[in-house]
Structure 1
């Protein structure tokens, strides 16, 4: 368990203490990814990070570490005030479910929340086209 003040790196990654942690079970747009809403391009990657900032700002964050991703980053389920951060990001529509949170994603879709208010490329597909392989 790690806890303390955290900082949003992007929409699905935080820095807690000196550890960069990937939120398990979600995938958010990359910082330079854009999406469409009402035919207009907008910086959905930045908006996803802003949504995460709003959730964790000046809050005590608690993370339960749970393995590592393919880039060797620690994976964790993290919470603020007992509420799962990943679930909130998906429910608010700023991240898609990635191995969990299917109910939250269905709710976001029904409400046309966040990314679901327009059209977007799934972050994993966007990365395949825009981010060079390591």
Structure 2
């Protein structure tokens, strides 16, 4: 009886030991079959130049980008504009940009086509004035047409403001400008009344021809 019990205890110990060995042993998956017919491709080693440099943390809240090699930077040519509408236009010259139409008060004629006002000296554009010392001759009679032309200009102005297209801050030099008194063009009035002549490149040629035919101003008798 005692022998049977000892035999049964030995069998139980053998079974328990086998169970423990089965738990600790890993389960291996079946390996794939290797195809010996396919060539093995060598893997190129990664050089230091190809290995990207990571970003660097240079401060607590500041991360600097990785350093770049200037030799690897390629400068590309700028692309052409999409259309001519996108092209930048050259800036206007200061004189063309700043010229504006202003009122010049209390003008005083210094000759038949020049006046002074508010520190400016303005020559009427497109006409040739008569010098104050000039003399004219009509039917063998000489008379001081320069002084008479200046007086006629002053009489017509009567100190009224002229509207002229002039640049700003030009006080030391005389400038040529187009002016008007109300709706009357000053150059047209001077030439059509014979107190100035039209420049060859001006617009008052017909007005001068009319004044000559009518013997007005410097083209007529003493006044």
Cα-Cα RMSD: 1.5
Q: Quick one: distance in 2 between partners of 1:2 and 1:49?
A: 23
User: Does structure 2 retain, via aligned residues, the 8 Å contact 1:51–1:89?
Assistant: no
**Bigger RCO (CA 8 Å, 6+ sep):** 1
Q: Quick one: distance in 2 between partners of 1:27 and 1:111?
A: 19
1:51 maps onto 2:152 in alignment: yes
Q: TM-score, normalised by structure 1?
A: 0.78
Q: Quick one: distance in 1 between partners of 2:145 and 2:188?
A: 18
3-state DSSP of counterpart to 1:21: strand
The equivalent of 1:113 in structure 2 is 216
The structure in which a higher percent of residues are strand is 1
User: Structure 1, residues 51-83: CA drift from partner, whole Å, max 9, x if none?
Assistant: 1102211312111138xxxxx521111111110
Q: Quick one: distance in 1 between partners of 2:166 and 2:159?
A: 21
| Equivalent position to 2:207, from 82, 99, 104 | 104
Gaps of 5+ in 1: 67-71, 119-134
The equivalent of 1:128 in structure 2 is none
Q: Name which one, 1 or 2, has greater alpha-carbon Rg.
A: 2
| Equivalent position to 1:78, from 179, 195, 202 | 179
Figure out how many residues of one structure are paired with residues of the other and give that number: 113
Which consecutive aligned stretches of 4+ in structure 1 deviate over 3 angstroms post-superposition?
none
Gaps of 5+ in 2: 1-100, 168-172
Q: TM-score, normalised by structure 2?
A: 0.48
Q: Quick one: distance in 1 between partners of 2:138 and 2:166?
A: 35
Q: Quick one: distance in 2 between partners of 1:115 and 1:12?
A: 13
Q: 1:116 Cα shift?
A: 1.5
